[in-house]
Structure 1
Amino acid sequence: MKSSKHILLAVAFIALAILGGALYLQYFKDMQPCPLCILQRYAFAIIAIICLVSASMPDAIRKASAAIGILAGLGGAATAGWHIWVIAHPATTCGRDALEAPLNALPTATLLPSVFKVDAWALCSAAYDPILGLSLPQWSLVWFVILIVIMGKVLFKRTNRGDFE
C-alpha cells in the first residue's frame, strides 16, 4: 500500500496540474476567469500547498492536514456547484461586482495576477464550449470530489504501531 506521503504528493501534483490547465485555457484558449473560477483556483492552490507541506511531516500531522485539505476541497466543490447552477440559470449573477474587488485586493492577486486576478469582463454565467462533454465548473467539481476521496483515504488510514512512514 502506498504511504500517505506519496498519496499527498500525488494530490498536490494533481491540484497543480489542474491550476496549470486553468492557466492554459486562460492564456491559450482565451477563457478568462470569473470570480467563481478564481475561488476554485484558490481551493486547488490551498490543497496543493497543504499536501506539499504535510508530505514531509509525521503521520499524525498528515492526517490533520488531510482534514484541512478536505475542508478546502469541500469549499471548492461548493463553489463549483454554485458555478454550475449559475451557468444553468444565466439570469442569475455570480455577484461579479461584489466579488471582483475583494478578490483582486488580496495580496495573491497582486503578487500572482496571472493566476489569481479576476478578469473585469469575465462573467460567471458565460458558458464556454464543453471539454469532453463537461463544462469547466463540472470538471472542477469532479476533481474536487476525487481529491476529497483521496485525502479521506489519508485521513482514515489505519496506522500500525511502529509504522513510521
Structure 2
Amino acid sequence: MKTSKPVLVAVGLIALGLVGFALYLQHVKGQMPCPLCVIQRYMFILLALVCFIFAALPRGATKAGASLGALAALGGAGVAGWHVWVKAHPSVSCGIDPLETALNRYPTAELLPFVFKADGLCSAEYPNILGLSNPQWSLIWFLTFALVMIWAALRRSR
C-alpha cells in the first residue's frame, strides 16, 4: 500500500456502516437513542467525513487527514467512555436535560430527526450484542479507529 488512502476510505465506510446499524437498532428493534448515542453518531459521521475528504485530496494530505481522524475517534471514545460510565452507575442519567434539548434543536436534528433526534435515556437497558452493550461497542470501535488513524498518520509512505 503506497498511501494511507485505502485505510481512510475503509475507516469511513465502516464508521458509516456503524451509524447504519444504529439506525437499524433504532427503527427496527425500537432502541431509542439518548443524547450520548446521538453525539456518538455525530462523531462517527465526522470521522467518516474527515476520512473521505482527505482520501480525495492529494497524497500529502493523507497524514493530516489521519491525524484529524484520530482526534475525531478519540473524541468519540471520550463520549462513549462517559456513556459506559453512566450505564454502570444507574443513579446518573443524562435523560431529559439541557443536553437533550440543545441536541434536538440542531438543524441536523430538525432536518433528519430519524437520525439525530434524542428520545431515549442513557441508562436504558437494551439487549447486549455478543455480551457487550451498545456504548461498549462504540468505545471499542472508536479506540480501534483511533489506533488505525494514528498508525496511518505515523507510517512511512513507500
| Band the TM-score falls in, shorter-chain normalisation | over 0.9
Q: What SS class does the counterpart of residue 56 from structure 2 fall into?
A: coil
1:20-45 deviation line (CA, Å, top 9, x unaligned): 00000000000000000001000000
1:1-33 deviation line (CA, Å, top 9, x unaligned): 363111110001100100000000000000000
Among candidates 113, 128, 131, match of residue 129 of structure 2: 131
- Write the distance in 2 (CA, Å) between the matches of 1:3 and 1:137: 32
User: Contact 2:34–2:95 at 8 Å: present in 1 too?
Assistant: no
Among candidates 142, 152, 155, match of residue 154 of structure 1: 152
Equivalent residue letter for 2:3: S
After TM superposition, give the deviation of residue 159 of structure 1 in Å.
2.4
Q: Which runs of 5+ in 2 are unaligned?
A: none
- Write the distance in 2 (CA, Å) between the matches of 1:152 and 1:13: 18
Structure 1 residues 6-155: aligned runs within 5 Å: 6-94=6-94, 96-119=96-119, 122-155=120-153
- Write the distance in 1 (CA, Å) between the matches of 2:96 and 2:143: 26
Equivalent residue letter for 1:23: L
After TM superposition, give the deviation of residue 132 of structure 1 in Å.
0.3
TM-score by length of 1: 0.91
- Write the distance in 1 (CA, Å) between the matches of 2:111 and 2:136: 28
- Write the distance in 2 (CA, Å) between the matches of 1:79 and 1:95: 15
Map of 1:163 onto structure 2? none
Q: Which runs of 5+ in 1 are unaligned?
A: 161-165
1:39-71 deviation line (CA, Å, top 9, x unaligned): 100000000111111111123322112111111
Q: What SS class does the counterpart of residue 154 from structure 1 fall into?
A: helix
TM-score by length of 2: 0.95
After TM superposition, give the deviation of residue 113 of structure 1 in Å.
1.3
Runs of at least 4 residues of structure 1 off by over 4 A? Answer: none
Structure 1 vs Structure 2: percent identity of aligned residues?
54
What is the Cα-based RMSD across aligned positions, in Å?
1.3
- Write the distance in 2 (CA, Å) between the matches of 1:37 and 1:6: 28
